[in-house]
């Protein structure tokens, strides 16, 4: 905003100096330029404010994405606990079935079935860990993208405001 004020002061001051320097400028022309300068300044401020609002929206989304991470972690813990519980129940049912048939559980088919069930359970838990890690990384990426969008919104608003000020300055100087 300081840059906008300095630009406006230079343009209006330059116009006033030209008027005082003997140029044929009417009071209405100077007043019109001042009004246009004021309107331009208000427009520039509105442009920057709109950019700040957009940036604030992106920042809030970034914060929301980061806030989802603990929830995702808790959900991952619950999913793994559920998988472990299912694995324990499946092993228990399997051992009960083998024991009921009178088979020795310490070797042979029951032991191989137990090893297979444990391997499948480990794979499911490893897969769940990978899914959770992927989800957490995506939340980080989304947060980063929102923060980048916020920076771009602010930068774009400032650039547009500067262009408005320069456009006014050029038209004021062209009028003399």
Q: In this predicted model, what pLDDT tens digit does every residue of 7-18 receive, in sequence order?
A: 445 544 544 444
Mean pLDDT of 113-131: 90
Distance between CA atoms of residues 93 and 114, nearest Å: 11
Q: In this predicted model, what pLDDT tens digit does every residue of 28-43 receive, in sequence order?
A: 778 888 888 899 999 9
CB 155 within 8 A of CB 114: no
Distance between CA atoms of residues 42 and 65, nearest Å: 35
Between 79 and 175, residue with greater pLDDT: 79
Mean pLDDT of 72-76: 94
| Number of Cβ atoms within 10 Å of the Cβ of 86 | 12
What pLDDT sits at residue 16? 46
Between 19 and 137, residue with greater pLDDT: 137
Look at residue 172 and tell me whether its pLDDT is greater than 50. yes
Model confidence at 4, in pLDDT bands (50, 70, 90)?
very low
Q: Tokens 């608003």 map to which residue?
A: 157
Distance between CA atoms of residues 71 and 65, nearest Å: 10
CB 25 within 8 A of CB 176: yes
Q: Which two tokens stand for residue 10?
A: 């230079």
Q: Sign of the CA dihedral 160, 165, 171, 173?
A: negative
What pLDDT sits at residue 39? 92
Q: What angle do CA 47, 53, 59 make, to 5 degrees?
A: 135
């Amino acid at each position: 905003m300081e840059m906008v004020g300095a630009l406006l002061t230079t343009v209006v001051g330059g116009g006033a100096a030209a008027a005082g320097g003997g140029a044929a400028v009417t009071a209405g022309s100077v007043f019109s330029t001042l009004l246009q300068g004021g309107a331009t300044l208000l427009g520039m401020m509105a442009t920057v404010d709109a950019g700040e609002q957009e940036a604030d929206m992106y920042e809030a989304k970034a914060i929301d994405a980061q806030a989802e991470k603990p929830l995702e972690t808790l959900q991952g813990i619950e999913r793994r606990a559920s998988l472990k519980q299912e694995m324990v129940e499946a092993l228990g049912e399997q051992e009960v079935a083998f024991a009921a048939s009178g088979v020795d559980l310490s070797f042979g088919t029951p032991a191989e079935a137990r090893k297979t069930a444990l391997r499948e359970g480990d794979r499911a838990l490893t897969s769940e860990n990978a899914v959770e890690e992927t989800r957490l990384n995506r939340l980080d990426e989304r947060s980063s993208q929102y923060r980048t969008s916020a920076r771009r919104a602010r930068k774009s608003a400032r650039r547009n405001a500067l262009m408005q000020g320069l456009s006014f300055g050029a038209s004021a100087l062209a009028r003399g």
